[in-house]
Amino acid sequence: MCPEKEPEFFAKESIWSRGEDWYLGLFAGADEQPLIGESSTVYSRIPHFAGVADRIAKFNPEARFIYIMRDPVERTISHYWFCVRFCKERRDMLTAIREEAHLTDVSNYAMQLVPYFARFGSDKVFTLTFEELSTRPANIVQTLFQWLGVEASFVPPNLGRRENVTPEVIALRKIGLINHVGRALKPLIPPDMFSAAKHWLQRYQYIDRKSSTVDEVIRFLKPVQTEQVNELEKMLGRGFPEWKTLYGHTSVATAKNHFEAVLEPGAG
């Protein structure tokens, strides 16, 4: 795997324009390896990034792909929190998910797989779920290695380590007084003092994800993403019982509201 985790070469015109030599340079020293690869999540973000499969096919028509799918409801919610942390998303979760089609498009796995199946064939795409990988990492990885034609008995030493886990409490930086006085202060005081003042004047907003109610979001997502998963099941010929939130979420708050509604006179 190239050292740069997400080079995004086949998705972004600004990177694609650097040329194949630049891309191959990411794998310098791998000439003797039977396989080389990289992982860029943007390669499965239709329609936000289009034409990726065509570019890869032009580069290497024998390419193979590993596509990991997560419970689509949980993935969409996780994507929202990523946008909050890194993309300045400040809408509430339900509003953002309703208004930002990209959040649910990425969870439409059947739509994302279509161009790869069309260009390369389904036998060149290894599909698995995040839940399978989390529950049986050694077995799944060995099956994957066998599919790739490399040493299937190898067990990576870091299988139990989770990476890039979203923290329960998210700290969002808010610029307070520095916006109003920064420009005036900067030319008047030494850089060290300005940096200290800037740090002191900055404010943070802390969001506890556990305090965020997601029941309404889940109710909105379930019918949309159940229909999408139905297409995925037809495409792959398998079901996804491990996706508990999509198929079986009932929180305490949801159950309590339902109970109260049933007891209300005239509720039926």
pLDDT in tens, 213-250: 799 999 999 999 999 999 999 999 999 999 999 998 54
pLDDT at 28 > cutoff 60: yes
pTM over 0.75: yes
- Average pLDDT for the chain: 85
Q: Is 9 among the domain residues? A: no
- What was the pLDDT predicted at 177? 47
At 134, the amino acid letter reads S
**What is the pLDDT, as a whole number, of residue 85?**
87
Task: Please give the average per-residue pLDDT across 22-33, as a whole number.
Answer: 91
What gap in Å lies between CA 195 and CA 156, rounded to an integer?
44
Residue 195 lies in a domain: yes
Bridge-based pairing state of the strands 125-129 and 65-69: parallel
When divided into structural domains, the chain yields a total of: 1
DSSP string, the chain: --SSS---TTT-HHHHTT-HHHHHHTTTT-TT-S------GGGG-TTTS-SHHHHHHHH-TT--EEEEE--HHHHHHHHHHHHHHHS---S-HHHHHHH-HHHHHTT-HHHHHHHHHHHH-GGGEEEEEHHHHHHSHHHHHHHHHHHHTS-TT---TTTT---SPPPSEEEEEE--THHHHHHHHTTTS-HHHHHHHHHHH-EEEEEEGGGS--HHHHHHHHHHHHHHHHHHHHHHT---TT-HHHHH---HHHHHHHHHHHHSTT--
Decide if 175 is inside a domain.
yes
- Cβ contact 207:170 at 8 Å: yes
> Other CB atoms closer than 10 Å to residue 44's CB: what's the count?
24
What's the rounded mean pLDDT across residues 178-198? 65
By percentage, how much of the chain surpasses pLDDT 70? Answer: 79
With respect to residue 32, please indicate whether it lies within any of the assigned structural domains. Answer: no
Tell me the two tokens of residue 2.
Answer: 């190239």
62 inside domain? yes
Weakest-pLDDT range from 127-131, 211-215, 261-265: 261-265
| Res. 162: pLDDT tops 80 | no
Instruction: Give me the pLDDT at residue 262, please.
Output: 33
- Tell whether 91 is covered by a domain: yes
> Does a structural domain hold residue 229?
no
The predicted structure's pLDDT at residue 121:
98
The pLDDT of residue 156 is 87
Paired with 205 in beta bridges are 172
pLDDT category of residue 260 using cuts at 50, 70 and 90: very low
pLDDT of 254: 39
**What are the tens digits of pLDDT across the range 62-110?**
999 999 999 999 999 999 999 998 888 989 999 999 999 999 999 999 9
pLDDT score, position 208: 64
In a domain, 231, yes or no: no
What confidence score (pLDDT) does residue 259 get?
Answer: 31
Q: Is-contact 170 81, C-beta < 8 A? A: yes
What whole-number distance in Å separates Cα of residue 130 and Cα of residue 142?
15
Question: Which pLDDT belongs to residue 255?
Answer: 35
For position 164, what pLDDT does the model report?
74
Q: Which of 14-23, 153-162, 176-185, 253-262 has the highest average model confidence (pLDDT)?
A: 14-23
Q: Tell me how many degrees the CA angle 122-127-130 measures, rounded to the nearest 5.
A: 170
Length of the chain: 268
Give the structural domain span for 82: 40-135+167-212
